[in-house]
Amino acid sequence: MEDGFRLQDARIAIIGLGLMGGSLALALKGKCAALYGVDSDHATIELALAKGIVDHAERDLSKLPEQADLLILATPVSGIIGFIQSLPSLLQTPCIVFDLGSTKRDILQAMSALPENFDPIGGHPICGKEKLGLENADASLYREAPFVVSALKRTTPRAKTAIQQIIAAIGANCIEMAAEDHDRILATTSHLPFLLSSALALATPLECIPFAGPGFKSTSRLAGTPSQMTMGILQSNRENILDAILAFRNALDSIESALQGRDYAQLESILNRSRSAYQLLISSSATQLTNH
């Protein structure tokens, strides 16, 4: 590979043209030399070509363009790992490999076994919608979103530069983070909320639905995410998610204990602390975004 990377000269292949991959393609349109798309769904390929979201599209992974400078893996976690494992038999030319997976440890472990012609680096944009598919893709999806980048020891400066250019081009905020730290933190901020939302949906009788207001709808919203998008996350980040569930259960137990014992002073104290914690979390989040 040449030493430098220029986004405007790059030929980029996106594997998976769903919400995330499709939105990325829309955001990169006109900012690189060529955009290729690969997706197993025929209707998705037709839509991508009809709307001009990519320049070329294929259903068959074996037809990956040999001239691609950068591969972006935008499928669910299990699909990303499977694709990484099959990549050596599909492509022998030098190429940067980048993923958008919601967990990082297992993906980077799979990347570390790639042959030397691949230059791998991990990523995770912290954004999305519960409505998936290319039909819901949005060029502004990544704008102002935190975008975690997790490099391997073998990742070259060229690959890091490439991803920094892509993140800047789509208007996201780059955050460099070790894979282990990413998975531990996202277990609390992303994976646990999905499970809590799912549990709330399961625990709510149908007779309650006519009385469900905005609070219930916003709290249960994530339960609408298809399981094929989340099973790989739950499997690959199992230990961290179990730790997050335990921390949540302890907090809920303290609330239940105060209510069960009619200790309303203690209950009020807990709720006041939770409100303060919420305000601190939100203000810190806003500060982080302003500083990036």
Q: What is the DSSP string of 58-87?
A: ES-GGG--TT-SEEEE-S-HHHHHHHHHHH
- Any idea which residue has 């694709």 for tokens? 83
Together in a domain, 160 and 183: no
Pairing outcome for strands 146-151 and 95-99: unpaired
159 and 194 inside one domain: no
User: Based on the domain organization, do 129 and 238 belong to the same domain?
Assistant: no
pLDDT digits (tens, 9 = 90+) for 13-52: 999 999 999 999 999 999 999 999 999 999 999 999 999 9
Q: Which of 135, 158, 177 is the last residue of a domain?
A: 177
- Which of these three, 121, 147, 177, is where a domain ends? 177
pLDDT in tens, 84-139: 999 999 888 999 999 999 999 999 999 999 999 999 999 999 998 878 899 989 99
Residue 1 lies in a domain: no
Residue 2 lies in a domain: no
Question: pLDDT of 156-170, one tens digit each?
Answer: 999 999 999 999 999
Q: Are residues 136 and 36 in the same domain?
A: yes
Which one is predicted more confidently, 281 or 174? 174
Residue 292 has pLDDT above 50, yes or no: no
CB of 201 closer than 8 Å to CB of 220: yes
In a domain, 157, yes or no: yes
Residue 228 has pLDDT above 90, yes or no: no
Q: Which domain holds residue 77?
A: 7-177
Q: Is residue 255 part of a domain?
A: no
Q: Residue 187: inside a domain, yes or no? A: yes
pLDDT value at 289 more than 60:
no
Q: Which two tokens stand for residue 68?
A: 């691609």
* Same domain membership, residue 124 and residue 30: yes
What average pLDDT does the chain have? 92
- The count of structural domains within the chain is 3
110 and 241 assigned to the same domain: no
Instruction: Quick: pLDDT tens for 178-219.
Output: 999 999 999 999 999 999 999 999 999 999 999 999 999 999
Q: Is the pLDDT of residue 77 over 50?
A: yes
Residue 12 lies in a domain: yes
Q: How confident is the model at residue 1 (pLDDT cuts 50, 70, 90)?
A: very low
SS3 5: coil
Task: Write the CATH number for 99.
Answer: 3.40.50.720
Give 290's pLDDT tier (boundaries 50, 70, 90).
very low
Asked if pLDDT for residue 234 goes beyond 80, the answer is yes
Same domain, 35 and 58: yes
- Residues 121 and 18 placed together within one structural domain of the fold: yes
Question: Does some domain include residue 71?
Answer: yes
Which of the pair, 114 or 281, is modelled with greater confidence?
A: 114
CATH number for 215:
1.10.3660.10
pLDDT of residue 2: 46
| 160 shares its domain with 278 | no
The Cα-based distances of 14 to 151, 165, 264, 280 in angstroms read 19, 16, 55, 38
The half-sphere exposure of 8 on its side-chain side, counting CA atoms within 13 A, is 0
* Segment 246-250 mean pLDDT: 98
The pLDDT score that the predictor gives to residue 3 is 62
Do 115 and 154 belong to one domain?
A: yes
Residues 238 and 124 in one domain: no
Q: Is residue 216 part of a domain?
A: yes
Q: What is the pLDDT of residue 64?
A: 75
Question: Which of 135, 153, 177 is the last residue before a domain boundary?
Answer: 177
Tell me: do 195 and 153 sit in the same domain: no
What is the distance between the alpha carbons of residues 254 and 231, in angstroms, rounded to a whole number?
30
Q: Are strands 146-151 and 173-176 parallel, antiparallel or unpaired?
A: parallel
